[in-house]
Amino acid sequence: MNIIGDELATTGRLRSYLTPTQSPATKAGGSMRTGMPRQPAFPALLGISGAGFAGLYLLFAVVPVLAATEGGRVGAGLATAVFMGATVTLQALTPRLMAVVRPHVLLGASLLLLGLPTVLYAVRPSLVPLLLITALRGAGFGLVTVVGTGLVSAYTAPERRGAALGVYGLTTSTAGIASPSIGLLLLHSSASQTTYWLGAAVPVAALGLLFVIRKASPGPVGAEDGPGRTLRVAWRDPRLRATAMLFFPCAVGYGAVYTFLPLLSADAPAGLLAFGAGFAAARLGFGRVADVVRPALLAVPLLGLAALGIVATATFPGGYGLIVSVAAAGAGMGGMATVSLVEVMSAVRTGESPLAAAMWNLTFDVGIASGGLALGVVAQLAGYRSVFVVSAVAIVLALAGAVAQLRRPPTRA
């Protein structure tokens, strides 16, 4: 046996996993065609996106409860599906909108759509009006996710993309730590109306930060060399498609936790707090790691942790067992969120960050939407615990795919 040759081959493969993946934009040292500054507007972007996500999360676990009151278990799943259906529709359109509309206008529209319709929940509408209100909010969320994520690359140095996306992920995920629990606690208290007014006020308050984005981004954002690829064309890219498919089951599980845990467990407020904390911490922590370790190497342990946590949630639906289970699931899913986003951003050309943002967010939210609808049927037929079992199976299938990717020689963009 050629021991030395085998060792050198193994070492070379390991180094390729530990080498940061450069995108064409990084290699060229390029930026957006608008010449936007990399740093000053980043804090304002964090504030706007954080407020938008806070408005979402305050009602994220509340709306399925309201829908279940009007439409049963299927109604709960339908509410999540309608919200995410509107979200993904706007996400698919946003890259083209960003090429012709200034970012601050799109962000302002997103905050208004997330905030103003929320007060209508206070009248406790029937199922159809409730779903219409939810669709408007979903449209606002679709805008803020793609515009916010797409601008991160414009406001940070390319070589720190992972760290910047980790900070951005922490900011948006922090809203998910306490907000769902606060929303549920307010809903079941004598101050239930406060839930809706607070959910409206937080996004609207962030409108004051738009002047910073307007100053930093005086024109639309697009590719430097003219119109970029469409989503349909980008989806044919094997690297983009493989990354999306690994993350998709995590999105299904994410939606399962927020939609069905409040209906499964009396300890849901504490459980959602633990899940959000694990998700947010992993989003930040794996941002820096993803700058130096290839995503294929990180995906296996993260998917394994997510699957284990989801299975344990079905096994221990209350008490400390639930807290530990959902925290583990949140950490696995949060790590996969950042790792997959870094990989997608690294795989696109100069100026195509809106396209990458749309593709990643579509994967996330289509997973939540389709999962909410399909898992609602599962819950109706087999109960709430079965929802988490099915979610875990989907993640295990992705884990098998990640292991298969590790067995192939890594490639560069």
What does the DSSP assignment read for 146-214?
A: HHHHHHHHHHS-GGGHHHHHHHHHHHHHHHHHHHHHHHHHHHTSTTHHHHHHHHHHHHHHGGGGHHHHH
* Distance from C-alpha of 19 to C-alpha of 40, rounded to nearest angstrom: 29
Residue 17: inside a domain: no
pLDDT of residue 281: 94
Structurally, the chain folds into a number of domains equal to: 1
Residue 384: inside a domain: yes
Cα 231 from chain centroid?
18
* Distance from C-alpha of 56 to C-alpha of 143, rounded to nearest angstrom: 13
What residue numbers bound the domain in which 214 lies?
37-406
CATH number, domain containing residue 258: 1.20.1250.20
Residue 65: inside a domain: yes
pLDDT of residue 31: 40
Residue 151: inside a domain: yes
pLDDT of residue 197: 92
Give the Å distances, CA to CA, from 341 to 118, 233, 240, 275: 29, 18, 10, 20
Maximum alpha-carbon separation in the chain: 76
pLDDT of residue 191: 75
Residue 279: inside a domain: yes
* Distance from C-alpha of 92 to C-alpha of 389, rounded to nearest angstrom: 30
pLDDT of residue 11: 37
The answer for 20, left when phi > 0, alpha when psi is -120 to 50, beta otherwise, is beta
Residue 26: inside a domain: no
Residue 6: inside a domain: no
* pLDDT of the chain, 413 residues: tens digit per residue: 443 344 334 334 433 333 343 333 333 333 443 333 345 788 999 999 999 999 998 998 888 888 888 887 778 878 878 887 899 899 999 998 998 899 999 999 999 999 999 999 988 888 899 999 999 999 999 999 999 998 987 787 777 888 889 999 999 988 878 788 788 888 888 777 888 999 999 999 999 999 999 998 888 876 554 456 778 888 888 888 888 889 999 999 998 998 889 888 989 889 988 998 999 999 999 988 988 888 778 999 999 999 999 999 999 989 999 999 999 999 999 999 999 998 888 888 777 888 888 999 999 888 887 777 788 889 889 989 999 999 999 999 999 988 887 766 555 44
* Distance from C-alpha of 384 to C-alpha of 76, rounded to nearest angstrom: 12
Residue 394: inside a domain: yes
Cα 14 from chain centroid?
29
